[in-house]
Copies of this chain bind each other. A is one copy, B any other.
Amino acid sequence: MTGDLAEDYGRLIVQGADQPGIVSRVSTVLVEQGANIVSLDQSTSDPTGGRFFQRTVFHLPGLSVRLDELDQAIEEKLVDGLGLTYRLVEAKRHKRVAILVSKADHCLLDLLWRQRRGELRMSIPMVISNHPDLGDDVRRFGIPFFHVPVEKDGKAAAEKEHLNLLKGNVDLLVLARYMQIISGGFLDELGVPVINIHHSFLPAFMGAGPYQRAKERGVKLVGATAHYVTEDLDEGPIIEQDVIRVSHRESARELQRRGADVERLVLSRAVSWHCDDRVVRDGNSTVVF
């Protein structure tokens, strides 16, 4: 998972209907172009008539200048020949990740701090919030912060402003405890993946006060789920989940704090894996290599 960072490393993500000989043919395309396969993960949803997924990391001297040529060869062999779809990525091109927050700082700070430490292979061109509170924290990391208030009945206007800021400038949008609903139109318009984090009780305890209601049911675990956002806001494909034990000794507020600890861990893992192209969407599910 580490050799794929420097110059001349690439990633090829392939998916489609499974068929005989496909692993070998995907590998062969790369080898014919002079690439050396560094790592290969493959998965099939079902051995007969299933869907096929492959993530290949390769080394190809002069990759930057040879990218177009490689892309063309892959298209010919895999798309025209086998009906597959693919993504071809230079590892050194970090994804541009914008973060949308409200007032809670735990997920945001965790991402900013990991980014500064060099744990995340991404850049953060901006943080947007419907509240001004976290501006100082963000700017201290040298990252632009934009305050876009969401007035009552002003969601459409706010989304328009979001799009003005984001379109063309980002490869991924992360909702790091952004407490506003995102419209389907916004998702379409934006055109890049959006990752969200929420507590893991859903669909139980939907709406306000989930931790209080969880406590009233006597739950013994609190957790978090990171997922891609689809039109059904909290129902998109799950990327990562985790939980932590709690007991009757913890108040609802303490449950929420424990939940926050899980949220930041789960979100940062999900973002990190996405940025390394380790997550492949499969309908409403995911393959996480």
Residues of A within 8 A of B (CB): 1-4, 20-24, 27-28, 30-31, 36-44, 46-48, 59, 105-106, 109, 113, 117, 119, 140, 200, 202-204, 215-221, 223, 227, 235, 237-243, 245, 247-251, 253-254, 257, 261, 265, 282-288
**Is the CB–CB distance between A1 and B250 below 8 Å?**
yes
Contact of A203 among B2, B203, B237, B243 (CB under 8 A): B203
User: In the complex, which residues of chain B have a beta carbon less than 8 angstroms from the beta carbon of A217?
Assistant: 235, 237-238, 284-285
User: In the complex, which residues of chain B have a beta carbon less than 8 angstroms from the beta carbon of A240?
Assistant: 220
**Is the CB–CB distance between A249 and B1 below 8 Å?**
yes
Give the residue name and chain of the B residue nearest to A218 (CB): B285
Tell me, rounded to whole Å, the shortest Cβ–Cβ distance linking A219 to chain B: 6
Contact of A251 among B1, B28, B31, B265 (CB under 8 A): B1
Give the residue name and chain of the B residue nearest to A9 (CB): B47
**Is the CB–CB distance between A284 and B216 below 8 Å?**
yes
Tell me, rounded to whole Å, the shortest Cβ–Cβ distance linking A92 to chain B: 15
As for how many copies of this chain the complex holds, the number is: 4
**Is the CB–CB distance between A28 and B24 below 8 Å?**
yes
User: In the complex, which residues of chain B have a beta carbon less than 8 angstroms from the beta carbon of A235?
Assistant: 217
Q: Which of A46, A47, A240, A253 counts the most B-chain CB atoms under 10 A from its CB?
A: A47
User: In the complex, which residues of chain B have a beta carbon less than 8 angstroms from the beta carbon of A42?
Assistant: 39-41
Nearest 6 pairs between A and B by C-beta? A3-B47, A218-B285, A20-B36, A24-B27, A218-B238, A218-B286
In the complex where A24-B28, A202-B204 touch, is A288 in contact with B247 (Cβ < 8 A)? yes
Tell me, rounded to whole Å, the shortest Cβ–Cβ distance linking A56 to chain B: 8
Give the residue name and chain of the B residue nearest to A109 (CB): B113
Give the residue name and chain of the B residue nearest to A216 (CB): B285
**Is the CB–CB distance between B257 and A3 below 8 Å?**
no
**Is the CB–CB distance between A285 and B237 below 8 Å?**
no
In the complex where A27-B23, A40-B23, A221-B242 touch, is A248 in contact with B1 (Cβ < 8 A)? no
> Could you write out 13 A-B pairs with CB less than 8 Å apart?
A20-B36, A22-B37, A23-B27, A24-B24, A24-B27, A24-B28, A24-B31, A27-B27, A38-B44, A38-B47, A218-B239, A220-B241, A247-B288
User: In the complex, which residues of chain B have a beta carbon less than 8 angstroms from the beta carbon of A3?
Assistant: 44, 46-48
**Is the CB–CB distance between B221 and A241 below 8 Å?**
yes
**Is the CB–CB distance between A218 and B242 below 8 Å?**
no
- Report the bound CA distance from A203 to B201 in whole Å: 9
User: In the complex, which residues of chain B have a beta carbon less than 8 angstroms from the beta carbon of A31?
Assistant: 21, 24
Known: A23-B40, A218-B239. 7 other contacts (CB 8 A): A3-B48, A24-B28, A39-B47, A40-B42, A215-B285, A218-B227, A221-B242
